[in-house]
Structure 1
Amino acid sequence: MIEILSPTELARARVTGALVADILQTLRSRTAVGTNLLDIDRWTQAMITEAGAQSCYVDYAPSFGRGPFGHYVCTSVNDAVLHGLPHDYTLADGDLVSLDLAVSKDGVVADSALSFVVGATQRPEDLAMIDATERALEAGIAAARPGARVGDLSHAIGTVLAAAGYPVNTEFGGHGVGSTMHQDPHVANAGRPGRGYPLRPGLLLALEPWVMADTDELVTDADGWTLRSATGCRTAHREHTIAITDDGAEILTLPSDAHR
């Protein structure tokens, strides 16, 4: 399913997007050495509930997972990169954390993710990997406009990641959003320009470059959800939800203070 949002629905999407961004910003500010992943999940639940919104994850049960996800935020640490199931783990100095959050409010979903390092130990190679995902996301957004095709965005993202020296997995990537979290079209993190679905105003896309330092192969944890690098290498993940506009793309998952 591919949804094209009306101006009224797009206005609601802006509210949802700012909520997701604000929650992630708060989580990042509160997360430090000694924070437990289950505390991050509880904080997320409280903020979603207070906003009168709904989690997209608690009852999420796709074919690739093991039963309902059952938590409010994905918490992926170090060699974990996607779908990190919150569990009883206390963050240590130098841990590389990725938080991924999707929320529905007033019938519209927004989805965003970020990566950061906790504590004083900031390894240059970790920061470079996080920076590469940021730059790849910027490139994908810059390529998004009416008439462009999904392959143009994939190519822009993949070009940045490959130039930075990272293997690219295309199994999991960006996707359409709207009244539900995961919709068509799939936006791979590498692709051929000029191919795929043509973009139209009102289309919402979640673009999410993610990389693993030395492999493109994933393995699944015993929890049935958490995806890790097959080699145990570190990982990074960045995501924004954007809306295709008449002349480009609007980032919806920016903090509310960014709009003042």
Structure 2
Amino acid sequence: MDPVRYRVLGTTQALRPDGTPVPVGGARLRALLTVLALRPARTVPAALLVDEVWHGDPPADAPGALQALVGRLRRTLGADAVESVDGGYRLVVVADDVDVHRFERLAGEGLRALADGDPAKAAVVLDDALALWHGPALADLPDRTAEAARWETRRLDVRRGRLTAALSLGQAEQCLPELTALCDLHPLDEPLQVLRLRALRDTGRSAEALAAYEDVRQLLADRLGSDPGPELRALHGELLSPAGEPTPGWGGGRGGGGA
């Protein structure tokens, strides 16, 4: 039994080459695998493993408890899956076989394609990246707040990029429900609001777009004491223009997901 892929974007899992899961029972065992998988083929110091797995409440014999837990993980994954190295342990796996690292590679590739003016390629690659998510990031880490938040932010970047590609491909009607839901969750995210207004405009709902702009303008003023940024203002000007033509010098969004 020698699984070659690991999931940490959701409940931590180990997968055999044929895709069937290897049962990884026990919260601490899954936490240990999560910490190791976040650092593929890299030595993880024993002290860091203890801190992450037991979250500041280590057992009396922490090194012995960690060694026993690593033994259990080897029995689950295979004897060669986890190497003992000076001062710590290492998961024997290439980065692309851990979903979070594959996600990052695909995200970079897709957002570069978008920036290079290839929304069709960007859509395909970013869909592949987003399909790797099966739940909240690092769900099995006892204290996952900061690290998980970083990956959730990156996921939102990719969703913005995917929606930008969809608008460029003339799919405003299809992506408007997702944009509306995301803007409800992140009302102060101006790049998302730009995308929603563009989608409303592209589906012939310019009056709704103007009303939505006013709602965003008021929200920014109330919560942040600021005016809308240049992209929102440029789009507002476009919506007000009689011919409905894009404002000169405005390209409809930033590449790389920040539309």
TM bracket (short chain): under 0.3
More RCO (CA 8 Å, sep 6+): 1
Return the structure number with greater helix share.
2
Return the structure number with greater strand share.
1
Between structure 1 and structure 2, the one with the greater Rg is: 2
TM-score (norm 1): 0.26
TM-score (norm 2): 0.27
